[in-house]
Amino acid sequence: MLGRPCSDDPDRAEPPTWSTEQTLYLAVKQAFDKLNYGTNSGALYDFNPWVAFIHDPDYLNAPNVYAYSVDDAVGNVQAEGLGFIIDIASTQNLENPLPAIPPINISLGYAGSPVEFASHRVCTNDPARDKPVNPHFPSFVISANNPKNCPVYLLDNKDPPQSYTFTVTQPPPFTAFQNPADAHWSEQTAGIIDCSGNTDTAPFYPSSKLWCCEKLAGDSGNGVFAYTTPDPTSVHLLNGNFVITIKAEEKYERGGTSCN
């Protein structure tokens, strides 16, 4: 899914672009989805009534299952897990009874400077949960169900490593931007980001607070922010939910005023 904003800010990388082959495939895939969902204009009959049986509110109304072979936009959420738990007839015995929903995409500022994010941890600041950051695709997802219970922790490649953290305090949707290139930091888009976990002591340092939220002149600022944007590749009218950060701090301390 494409959703990272284009920006002149060197802290943020430009988003990937579609190749000719990807564009052609997307056109075919969208046409096939519209055919199955009966949303293509001029249809003379229902191509796949099974889709209505699975997804229509008047029938099974099952939003998180496949209705046909490539109905993966609603039936497949890519996320890390430890295995499968199968429960029959109810959700009362499941550790997490909440259905999977489109996740929150965390996009890290990665400008190719000597100081870069090296790893991330989700929910618990435990070295056992360390996951490396892919420099070619510096992003990962977190669950959108209860993000306030699952802080994000980042470590950079300085010696010793500097830590950074933030918590998304509410589930999406976030502030909406029709065009992701228009998404930017503001008091509104940063308002759901809790930066209070960044302390002045190691492994966090004073610049960790400024990284998360720095107050600039007037109502402007810089740091972590969140937004929601329509997925232009989806015929299901799904949204993409994004949290954007700036790049890692080059120094443990620097001038500036943090937001909180």
- pLDDT, position 111: 73
Concatenate the DSSP letters of all residues of 120-172 into one string.
EEESS--GGG-EE--TTS-EEEE-SSSGGGS-EEEEESSSSPPEEEEEE-SPS
- pLDDT, position 260: 66
On the question of pLDDT at 259 being above 60, the answer is yes
Q: What is the pLDDT of residues 104-117, one digit of tens each?
A: 999 999 877 889 99
More confident residue, 19 or 243: 243
Q: What is the mean pLDDT of the chain?
A: 86
On the question of pLDDT at 8 being above 60, the answer is no
Q: What is the pLDDT of residues 211-258, one digit of tens each?
A: 999 999 878 999 999 999 998 777 777 889 999 999 999 999 999 999
Q: Which of 38-42, 51-55, 141-145, 166-170 has the lowest mean pLDDT?
A: 38-42
* 224's tokens: 């972590």
* 116's tokens: 């870069």
- pLDDT, position 30: 85
Distance CA 76, CA 64 (A): 8
Q: Where are the alpha helices (DSSP H) in the chain?
A: 20-37, 49-55, 72-75, 206-212
Neighbouring-strand partners of residue 139: 107
Confidence band, pLDDT 50/70/90 cuts, at residue 82: confident
Task: Give the C-alpha distances (Å, rounded to integers) separating 35 from 15, 88, 237.
Answer: 30, 33, 15
Q: What average pLDDT does this structure show over 7-26?
A: 62
User: Per the omega criterion (within 30 degrees of 0), is the bond before 63 cis?
Assistant: no
Confidence band, pLDDT 50/70/90 cuts, at residue 2: very low
Task: Give the C-alpha distances (Å, rounded to integers) separating 87 from 13, 67, 90, 92, 99.
Answer: 43, 21, 7, 9, 13
On the question of pLDDT at 195 being above 80, the answer is yes
* 35's tokens: 């055919």
Q: What average pLDDT does this structure show over 80-89?
A: 79
Confidence band, pLDDT 50/70/90 cuts, at residue 173: very high
- pLDDT, position 18: 59
Closest CA to 151 of 130, 166, 132: 166
| Percent of the chain scoring above 90 in pLDDT | 53
Task: Give the C-alpha distances (Å, rounded to integers) separating 219 from 120, 177, 185, 190, 247.
Answer: 30, 19, 10, 12, 22
